Structure 1
Amino acid sequence: MKLKINMWTGILDIVNCVLFAVSWFVIFGTAFSDATSGGKTTGGTAAFFYIMAWTGVVLNIIALVKSKKANISIVGPILGIIGSALFGVTATLAFPALVVLIIATVFTMLQRPAKNSTNE
């Protein structure tokens, strides 16, 4: 049995990987622009990345619960929660979050039966 929530969670984890990879450049670029023009857009830009990270946490929690009920391995959603939360706590953890999210995406998309599964 394959769950659509796992597919969408994996897609969001991939999108977040790309976003987290460019986040430092975007935030520093915005901060530099604010410093030279007197603008105040850095906070809003950073907030976008944090909202995406916490959206990833929520979606991975939903995938975890649904995977557990469907007797699918929960390794991917757990790693997805950890990876998204790493960035959600602080953007300085963007690189570890990327690594964990890439691994999470692989496990989430595989959707293998749980080891203690009694499926025949």
Structure 2
Amino acid sequence: MTRLKLNTWTGVLDIVNCVLFAISWFVIFSTAFSDASNGGNATDSAANFFYAMAWIGVVLNIVALIQSRKHNISLVGSVLGIIGSALFGFTAALAFPAMVVLIVAAVFIMLQHPSKNYVNQNNNDPQTPTN
């Protein structure tokens, strides 16, 4: 079984997004309060950055899902990554559940275990991971 660098980078992005989602509310609220006192409109830009990162996470996890499927790697991490990123992408109010799902997704996607239906090409026996 091959280890995909794409899965490693997707896991790293999932962890980065966890940190970003954790600070997102503080950044958005602080810019909202500073906008109110200054008459500016920086809140939209701050929120758009976090939403863009969430949707980049969705796209990267979809690409990782497709590549993992081609290489017979478990899809659990990619699916959870899509769900976690999409939760925040739809609304920042779901930041905490998105962070929890993304942490679990990052662990699974970095493990890169073979899928359950993976058959070793040499002896046609299901491959069991050795520890």
Report the TM-score, using the length of structure 1 for normalisation: 0.99
Partner of 2:21: 20
Tell me the SS of whatever aligns to 1:115.
coil
Give the CA RMSD over aligned residues. 0.5
Deviation of 1:77 (Å)? 0.2
Partner of 1:77: 78
AA matched with 1:59: L
Partner of 2:88: 87
Deviation of 1:53 (Å)? 0.0
Deviation of 1:93 (Å)? 0.1
Q: Which has the higher helix share?
A: 1
Identity %: 70
Greater relative contact order structure (CA < 8 Å, 6+ sep): 1
Report the TM-score, using the length of structure 2 for normalisation: 0.91
AA matched with 1:76: G
Partner of 1:100: 101
Q: Distance in 1 between matches of 2:110 and 2:36?
A: 42
Q: Distance in 2 between matches of 1:35 and 1:104?
A: 38
The 5-angstrom pairing of residues 10-49 of structure 1 reads 10-49=11-50
The reply to whether residue 59 of structure 1 matches residue 60 of structure 2 is yes
| Displaced runs of 4 or more, over 3 A | none
AA matched with 2:33: F
AA matched with 2:14: D
Structure whose CA Rg is larger: 2
Tell me the SS of whatever aligns to 1:117.
coil
For structure 1, list consecutive stretches of 5 or more residues without a partner in the other structure: none
Q: Distance in 2 between matches of 1:3 and 1:74?
A: 13
Q: Distance in 1 between matches of 2:70 and 2:41?
A: 46
Tell me how many residue pairs correspond in the alignment: 120
The 5-angstrom pairing of residues 101-116 of structure 1 reads 101-116=102-117
Deviation of 1:83 (Å)? 0.0
